[in-house]
């Protein structure tokens, strides 16, 4: 065995020493896969077309070219070379070609290129941090064409926006799949009762739909919304998580609506709700690219009058206008017109879907997963682009549809969830030998002494007492010995004081928890476990519920806080007078010691 390079931790490698085989010539001779290469080295005319030949120098086998001599690596040492050329921070987890170029300039073995390709493809870090490629997307599956108006609708929420003068911050957007007719309702909040109230207004004008397509927002999937669907006989269709393309009709209109509002609102943005009727009319009046007709035409069978029609009517001679038609004739013509428009719109939609599929499927490929197969899942973690987005590996439970799979992830709040195949990627298991067992003499953590108390004292910050004389040091030592509970590493808890909160409204406040970023789930669990063990927190059976707020500290740990704003709003204010600053300064001006509590 080789002599360790360093007894201390090497920054970036996380090792305390290297263990490299010394007798490489012996390992080459014992390797069965290199026997044929030694035979070639004994032949003087063994050079190939690339002017490469195997030579033995000082008992070690090399591959020699015109200007480079590369050492031939035996099988037992190849994983060490691959690890150093790809995995360590000095290598940077570069791609296959760069890793191969790095190794091939110094080393060689018969299956070098294949081994590099396999090693890079099965690298766990590379798989989880790889760029999301559009080439692996599944072929497009268009939704069925709906020809009856307001049989299937889609709805979504836009916001939060700038609070308007009327107090509105959100927009409930509803779009009809048959006519592309949009509705938009300004809302102060997006609770389920508010959404139901807006839907009832729409149902009173266009009728009750058969299907409603939404995302998996809690305001759309609540029990109250489910009761409404059940009473009205509505079939609820939900999109898969993090795949808004399923609800693409309303998502695209959301973008159009925000762009239109942005061009009309004032500088403050507080009057956007006043412009909603105007921008909705503008959208409904113009023909849609997919249907060839305007939403007004497909819904009413007639083009409604707009500002341009009023202008033309003002310029034309009243005598040249067409004669007014009777009610019966108008109804018959409208019925025929609607039938003709909808048939043409259906044909146009089908042609548009075919064109979209041809364009979308240019870089798509058919992929499938089997139950029990390991996959990576693309989940949102943070806005930081350096953080991994692929999570897992997780297990495929079953295939739910042509492009949807049920995934089992026990570390999530919901153990089983359905996802689109574009959010999944095959997990490649590494079959190589564990590198750490061959490279490390011992782990960094093992450098510390075995005693937990001693280790804890060493890890704690050391306070210098050089400014104290021997008498003061002795007094301090006696003080520490007299009150050991106050100077221990583990924090304590006192019950000497209590605080009573008086409420203006005794009705309990139950708030839903905030969503925790994926990268903070496990650290949060560890923090909560530690706080429970220390007695800082305890399980609660209260009717009150306030959400947690997680604040990362500069040292990488987490600060767990509670959002008590709603509780504070219901608490009686204690008008305790704050002391004057000048009085405080006079009070402590003659003090010899000032603590952090002061």
Query: According to the per-residue pLDDT averaged within each range, which of 69-73, 191-195, 433-437, 473-477 is highest?
Result: 191-195
Mean pLDDT of 283-302: 77
pLDDT at 382: 52
| CATH homologous superfamily for the domain 152-312+325-359 | Ribonuclease H-like superfamily/Ribonuclease H (3.30.420.10)
pLDDT in tens, 179-237: 888 899 999 988 999 999 999 999 998 889 988 988 888 888 888 999 999 999 999 88
Identify which has the larger pLDDT, 272 or 489: 272
In this prediction, residues 98-112 reach a mean pLDDT of: 87
Nearest 5°: phi and psi at 275? -90, -5
The predicted structure's pLDDT at residue 340: 66
Which pLDDT band holds residue 10 (cuts at 50, 70, 90)? Answer: very low
Q: How far is CA 478 from CA 35, 170, 460, in A?
A: 74, 64, 21
DSSP element (H, E) containing 281: helix 276-285
Rounded Cα distance, 38 and 40, in Å? 5
- Over the stretch 333-361, which tens digit does the pLDDT of each residue have? 666 666 666 666 666 666 766 676 666 66
The structural architecture, per CATH, of the domain 499-598 is: Roll (3.10)
Kindly state the helix (H) or strand (E) to which residue 57 belongs, with its residue range: strand 53-57
pLDDT of residue 11: 39
Which pLDDT score, from 0 to 100, does residue 185 have?
93
Q: Are strands 69-72 and 107-108 parallel, antiparallel or unpaired?
A: parallel
What six digits make up the tokens of 173?
């957007």
pLDDT at 461 over 60: no
Q: Assess whether pLDDT exceeds 90 at residue 392.
A: no
The answer to whether residue 459 scores a pLDDT higher than 50 is: no
Q: How confident is the model at residue 463 (pLDDT cuts 50, 70, 90)?
A: low
Q: Is the pLDDT of residue 42 over 70?
A: no
Question: Measured between alpha carbons, how far is residue 483 from residues 313, 469, 479, 488, 497 in Å?
Answer: 95, 21, 6, 9, 20
pLDDT at 357: 66
Backbone phi and psi for residue 162, each to the nearest 5 degrees, phi listed first: -60, 130
Check residue 330 and give its pLDDT. Answer: 58
Higher pLDDT, residue 384 or 506 = 506
Q: Are 439 and 18 in contact (CB under 8 A)?
A: yes
Q: Average pLDDT, stretch 51-73?
A: 82
Q: What is the Cα–Cα distance from 165 to 270, expressed in whole angstroms?
A: 6
pLDDT at 275 (0 to 100): 84
Q: Which of 37-51, 111-125, 210-224, 249-263 has the lowest mean pLDDT?
A: 37-51
Which band of pLDDT confidence, cut at 50, 70 and 90, is reported for residue 1?
A: very low
Contact 242, 378 (CB under 8 A): yes
Answer whether 292's CB lies under 8 Å from 348's CB: yes
Q: Give the confidence band of 140 by pLDDT, cuts at 50, 70, 90.
A: low
SS (H, E, C) 500-535: CCCECCCCCCECCCCCCCHHHHHHHHHHHHHHHHHC
Domain residue extents for the chain: 24-123, 152-312+325-359, 499-598
Look up the CATH architecture of domain 24-123. Orthogonal Bundle (1.10)
pLDDT the model gives residue 456: 40
Average per-residue pLDDT for the chain = 76
Closest CA to 186 of 201, 167, 202, 203: 167
**Sign (positive or negative) of CA dihedral 207, 208, 214, 219:** positive
């Amino acid at each position: 065995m080789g002599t360790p390079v360093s007894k201390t931790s090497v920054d970036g490698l996380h090792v305390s020493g290297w263990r490299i085989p010394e007798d490489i010539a012996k390992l080459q001779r014992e390797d069965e896969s290199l026997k044929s290469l030694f035979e070639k080295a004994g032949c003087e005319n063994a050079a190939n077309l690339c002017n490469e030949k195997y030579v033995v120098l000082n008992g070690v086998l090399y591959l020699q070219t015109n200007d480079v001599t590369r050492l031939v690596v035996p099988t037992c040492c190849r994983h060490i070379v691959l690890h150093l050329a790809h995995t360590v921070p000095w290598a940077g987890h570069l791609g296959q070609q760069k890793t191969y170029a790095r190794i091939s300039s110094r080393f060689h073995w018969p299956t070098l290129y294949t081994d590099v390709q396999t090693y890079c493809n099965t690298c766990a870090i590379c798989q989880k941090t790889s760029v999301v490629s559009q080439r692996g997307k599944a072929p497009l599956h268009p939704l069925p064409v709906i020809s009856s108006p307001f049989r299937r609708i889609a709805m979504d929420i836009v916001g939060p926006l700038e609070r308007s003068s009327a107090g509105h911050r959100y927009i409930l957007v509803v779009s009809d799949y048959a006519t592309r007719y949009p509705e938009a309702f300004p809302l102060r909040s997006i609770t389920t009762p508010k959404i139901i109230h807006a839907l009832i207004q729409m149902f009173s004008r266009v009728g009750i739909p058969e299907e409603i397509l939404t995302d998996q927002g809690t305001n759309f999937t609540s029990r109250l919304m489910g009761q409404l669907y059940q009473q009205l006989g509505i079939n609820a269709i939900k999109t898969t998580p993090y795949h808004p393309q399923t609800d693409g009709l309303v998502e695209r209109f959301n973008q159009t609506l925000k762009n239109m509002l942005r061009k009309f609102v004032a500088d403050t943005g507080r009057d956007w709700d006043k412009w909603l009727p105007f921008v909705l009319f503008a959208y409904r009046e113009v023909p849609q690219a997919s249907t060839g007709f305007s939403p007004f035409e497909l819904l009413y069978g007639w083009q409604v009058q707009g500002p341009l029609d009023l202008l033309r009517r003002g310029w034309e001679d009243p005598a040249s206008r067409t004669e007014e038609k009777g009610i019966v004739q108008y109804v018959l013509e409208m019925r025929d017109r609607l039938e003709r428009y909808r048939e043409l719109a259906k044909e146009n939609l089908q042609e548009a879907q075919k064109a979209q599929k041809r364009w979308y499927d240019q870089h798509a490929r058919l992929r499938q997963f089997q139950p029990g197969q390991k996959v990576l899942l693309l989940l949102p973690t943070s806005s930081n682009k350096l953080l991994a987005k692929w999570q897992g590996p997780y297990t495929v439970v079953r295939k739910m549809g042509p492009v949807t799979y049920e995934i089992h992830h026990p570390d999530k709040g919901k153990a089983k969830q359905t996802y689109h195949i574009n959010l999944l990627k095959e997990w490649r298991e590494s079959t190589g030998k564990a590198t750490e067992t061959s490279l490390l003499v011992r782990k960094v953590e093992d450098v510390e002494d075995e005693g937990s108390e001693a280790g804890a004292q060493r890890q704690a910050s050391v306070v210098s007492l050089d400014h104290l004389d021997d008498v003061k040091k002795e007094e301090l030592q006696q003080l520490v010995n007299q009150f050991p509970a106050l100077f221990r590493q583990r924090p304590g808890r006192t019950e000497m004081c209590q605080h009573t909160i008086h409420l203006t409204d005794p009705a309990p406040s139950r708030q839903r928890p905030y969503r925790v970023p994926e990268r903070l789930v496990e650290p949060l669990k560890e923090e909560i476990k530690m706080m429970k063990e220390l007695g800082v927190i305890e399980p609660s059976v209260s009717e009150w519920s306030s959400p947690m707020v997680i604040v990362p500290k500069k040292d990488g740990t987490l600060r767990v806080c509670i959002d008590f704003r709603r509780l504070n709003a219901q608490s009686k204010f204690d008008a305790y007078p704050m002391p004057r600053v000048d009085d405080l300064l006079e009070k402590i001006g003659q003090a010899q010691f000032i603590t952090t509590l002061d």
